[in-house]
Copies of this chain bind each other. A is one copy, B any other.
Amino acid sequence: MTLTADAQTGADTTAPGNQAGAPASARPTATGEALRKALDGPFHDVKQRWRTEVTAADFVRDPEWDIPTAREWALDKLVGLAGRGLAIAGFPEAQGGRGNQAESVAHFEMLAMGDLSLTIKSGVQHGLWGGAVTNLGNPWHHETWLPDTISGAATGCFAMTELGHGSDVQSLETTITWIPEDGEYEVHSPTPTASKAYIGNAATHGKWAAVFGQLIVDGENQGVHVIIVRIRTEDLSPVPGVTCGDQGHKGGLLGVDNGTITFDRVRVPRTHLLDRFGGVGEDGVYHSAIESKNARFFTMLGTLVRGRICVGGGAASATRKALSIATRYALKRTQFRLPGLGEEILLLDYQTHQRKLLPNIARAYAYGFAQNELALQLQRVTEAQGSDPVAARELETRAAGMKALLTRWANDTIQVAREACGGAGYLSENGITLLRQDADVFATFEGDNTVLLQLVAKALLLDYKKTWGDMDMRGTAQATARMIGGTFLERTTARSVIERILAGSKSKDVNARAWHIEMFEDREKHIVEGLAKRMRAAAKAEDVFAATNACQQHMLAAAKAHTDRVVLEAFIEGIDECEDPYITSILSKVCDLYALATIEENRGWYMEHERFDGSRSKAVTEAVDALLVELRPKALELVEGLGVEEGWLDAAILA
């Protein structure tokens, strides 16, 4: 298939290769607009609202600001946007939100096209603190805290991570002890490592904290619960028993006031426990509708999955911004001359430069469609209110895999964009280094990527039937051993279109979508099956830790293969839903590039497992190179389609 004429303008906008793109204009081209609409998908209206109503002055930060300035700016802008009804869609309608989780993810993504410090400040205030009260609290909690949380008056912390335990939440040391004689709880940090750490809003702005700790009732540990504790007065003075520390300068996100919180036997009213899933009643007795402590814990955590989805989406937005800057620069910057001292050559006309940017633009589309689907899935699971635990676990699995893949890609790709702009890319005035510094920690917070990928692999082995947390490595290995039959390859919502494609074509052409699907599916299936076999053997080993430990890299590979397949299916579905044939033809090429670049990246695996031979592998690389040449003339339109307003780019080199 070749690119068809532009259905909307009637003109063939396919430009020859060696030609500068149009200068950055206030409005994108018609093709760019149409690509934007397709990629925005169900969130087009929300995202367009940002593009038309929000200016750089509302949410783009000066990279030179010091910590105090950046922190005050972030709180101020958050309050300003919330006052305009932006980035608060996830709150209940009763308190002024829209009760829409999917929309709240879209808002987060748009915020991340401005500034990541502000994004994370909002994520802490509205997403994590507000989300904990919303999802773990009862109507009284909502009425008491949410209106001021939305406005930014009731600043709050999500106090989960401790110095000693980040990834291993079940081992938190903070205690929430029921004191029956007084009818209240006592919150305490029993050791130095029990201090809450890396907590946003803790260093300067927070008045409240949702504190995670072991709930002890009558000497029995009921597992981790969450309680609202005041940590500063309304005028931000200290309160007795609570010590807040400032963790100061970081590698980025200087607008977020991360700090420590330590509790010295702080008394808290009974009603402050967020007791949707369990707590001590007026009768002084612990009640929970979920009997298993493990199930209770993971159900609670499960309601907080949105944070992970937002982090992946925010990282992707920052990457889109970096790709927009680097690609637009490559369309105006020349270096070296054509043979025979001809005219100077545009950077984007070099194969090496195309290799840096175009496959990543394709990946940005792929991840964008997958992120849309993930947000919709979040909405469905939220609306099901626990009635579909398999869907909930599937959502958690995808959220974990997507978060890990998107944040890894973000870190790598923003760096590529920086280098693609040469020395100019290193100047803060060109916007990329700030993105890189801020996005860095996205690989760690809301779950270390390596740990998340292992969670995905566990879920794949257990077929979503078990709660993740039910088992450690030995438990997983044993449970795997009980698996009956082959492994599991559930279809995404793209089920019907995938089946239609597979039924319609048996082509093994490298550009055949059916072949791409087959390659992605096959890789996932084989890796997961192999892992299951190894885990079964490991369960019987003398040293279970050593045996399961040796499977860790295999687990990462399984998780990546699974998530890659989910992403491809979402891309295919996104194209299927596009009604403009010209845009469909472009997106198909972009999907080819995503699929083939991913297959190329994994060609070692395919050849190791005799899925294809060396000549096929070379053909894949040639097909990628051919797609670069074909898509090069559409580079400007493609980055316009990524949806970052020109006015937000804030890069002096594009002026």
> A residues near B, CB below 8 A?
63-64, 66, 161, 165-168, 171, 197-198, 247-252, 335-341, 344-345, 349-353, 355, 411, 415, 418-419, 422-423, 425-429, 432-434, 436-437, 440-441, 443-445, 448-450, 454, 472-475, 544-545, 548-553, 556, 603-604, 607-610, 614, 617-618, 625
Cβ distance A496 to chain B, nearest Cβ, rounded Å: 34
A/B interface sample: 25 pairs, CB < 8 A: A63-B249, A64-B249, A168-B336, A198-B423, A248-B428, A249-B427, A250-B428, A251-B425, A251-B437, A339-B472, A340-B474, A351-B549, A351-B553, A352-B450, A352-B553, A411-B415, A419-B448, A425-B444, A433-B437, A436-B440, A550-B625, A553-B625, A604-B604, A604-B607, A607-B617
CB–CB A351/B472 < 8 A: no
Within 8 Å by CB of A248, from B166, B429, B474, lies B429
A324 to B556, CA, bound (A): 25
Within 8 Å by CB of A429, from B249, B443, B544, lies B249
CB–CB A545/B338 < 8 A: yes
Cβ distance A302 to chain B, nearest Cβ, rounded Å: 20
CB–CB A423/B351 < 8 A: no
Residues of B within 8 A of A339 (CB): 472-475, 544-545, 548
A625 to B546, CA, bound (A): 12
Cβ distance A29 to chain B, nearest Cβ, rounded Å: 26
Residues of B within 8 A of A336 (CB): 167-168, 171, 472
CB–CB A423/B450 < 8 A: no
Question: Residue on B with the closest CB to A448?
Answer: B422
Cβ distance A327 to chain B, nearest Cβ, rounded Å: 16
A429 to B259, CA, bound (A): 13
Interface centre among A165, A197, A427 (most CB of B within 10 A): A427
CB–CB A614/B618 < 8 A: no
CB–CB B433/A415 < 8 A: no
Cβ distance A627 to chain B, nearest Cβ, rounded Å: 13
Residues of B within 8 A of A443 (CB): 419
CB–CB B337/A472 < 8 A: yes
A349 to B548, CA, bound (A): 12
Within 8 Å by CB of A250, from B338, B427, B544, B549, lies B427
CB–CB B411/A449 < 8 A: no
CB–CB A436/B607 < 8 A: no
Q: In the assembly, how many copies of this chain are there?
A: 2
CB–CB A171/B617 < 8 A: no
Cβ distance A454 to chain B, nearest Cβ, rounded Å: 8
Question: Residue on B with the closest CB to A544?
Answer: B339
CB–CB B422/A64 < 8 A: no
Residues of B within 8 A of A337 (CB): 168, 171, 472
Residues of B within 8 A of A625 (CB): 550, 553
A610 to B614, CA, bound (A): 7
A247 to B550, CA, bound (A): 50
Cβ distance A204 to chain B, nearest Cβ, rounded Å: 16
Within 8 Å by CB of A426, from B167, B251, B341, B604, lies B251
CB–CB B249/A197 < 8 A: no
Beyond A168-B335, A418-B440, A426-B440, list 14 extra A-B contacts (CB 8 Å): A66-B66, A167-B336, A249-B429, A250-B427, A250-B433, A337-B472, A338-B545, A339-B474, A339-B545, A349-B549, A351-B553, A419-B443, A604-B604, A608-B617
A552 to B473, CA, bound (A): 46
A344 to B171, CA, bound (A): 10
CB–CB B444/A422 < 8 A: yes
Within 8 Å by CB of A419, from B349, B425, B437, B449, lies B449
A444 to B609, CA, bound (A): 38
CB–CB B610/A249 < 8 A: no
Question: Residue on B with the closest CB to A476?
Answer: B339
Cβ distance A56 to chain B, nearest Cβ, rounded Å: 18
CB–CB A251/B418 < 8 A: yes
Within 8 Å by CB of A607, from B353, B418, B614, lies B614
A450 to B336, CA, bound (A): 13
CB–CB B609/A352 < 8 A: no
A553 to B249, CA, bound (A): 40
- Beyond A350-B552, A614-B609, is A250–B604 a contact (Cβ under 8 Å)? no
CB–CB B441/A426 < 8 A: yes
Cβ distance A281 to chain B, nearest Cβ, rounded Å: 30
| Among all A-B residue pairs, the 7 with the closest Cβ atoms | A251-B433, A339-B474, A249-B428, A607-B607, A608-B614, A604-B604, A351-B552
CB–CB A444/B423 < 8 A: yes
Cβ distance A212 to chain B, nearest Cβ, rounded Å: 15
Cβ distance A643 to chain B, nearest Cβ, rounded Å: 25
CB–CB A247/B552 < 8 A: no
Cβ distance A149 to chain B, nearest Cβ, rounded Å: 24
Cβ distance A125 to chain B, nearest Cβ, rounded Å: 19
CB–CB A351/B449 < 8 A: no
- Beyond A249-B64, A335-B165, is A423–B411 a contact (Cβ under 8 Å)? no
Residues of B within 8 A of A552 (CB): 350-352
Question: Residue on B with the closest CB to A624?
Answer: B553
Residues of B within 8 A of A603 (CB): 604, 608
